[in-house]
Chains A and B, each alone.
Chain A
Amino acid sequence: MSKAIEILIADDSASDVELAVHALRKAKLANEIHIVEDGAQALDFLFCRGPYAGRSFADPPRLVLLDLKMPKVDGIEVLRAVRADPRTRAIPIVVLTSSKEQRDLVESYNLGVNAYIQKPVEFERFREVIEHIGMFWLVVNEPPPKDCFSGNC
Chain B
Amino acid sequence: MRTILHIIRKEFLQLKRDPKMFAIVLIAPVIQLIFLGYAVNTDVEKVPTVIFDQNRTVSSRDLLQKFSGNRYFEFVDQVDNYNDFQSLIESGEAWLGIVIPYDFEKSIERNETTELQAIFDGSDGNKASIIAGYLQKLITDYSVELLDLKMKKYGKFQTPISTVEPEIRAWYNPELETRVYMVPGIVGLLLSVITLILTSLAIVKERELGTLEQIIVTPIKPTQLIIGKLIPFAILGFVAVTVVLIAMTFIFDLPPRGSTPLLLTSTLLYTLSTLGLGLFVSTISKTQQQAMMLAIFVVLLPMIFLSGFAFPIENMPQVIQGITYAIPLRYFMTIIRGIILKGIGVSELWFELSMLLAMGVFVLILSSLRFRKRMD
Is B truly associated with A? Answer: no
Q: Which residues of B contact A (CB under 8 A)?
A: none
Q: Which residues of A contact B (CB under 8 A)?
A: none
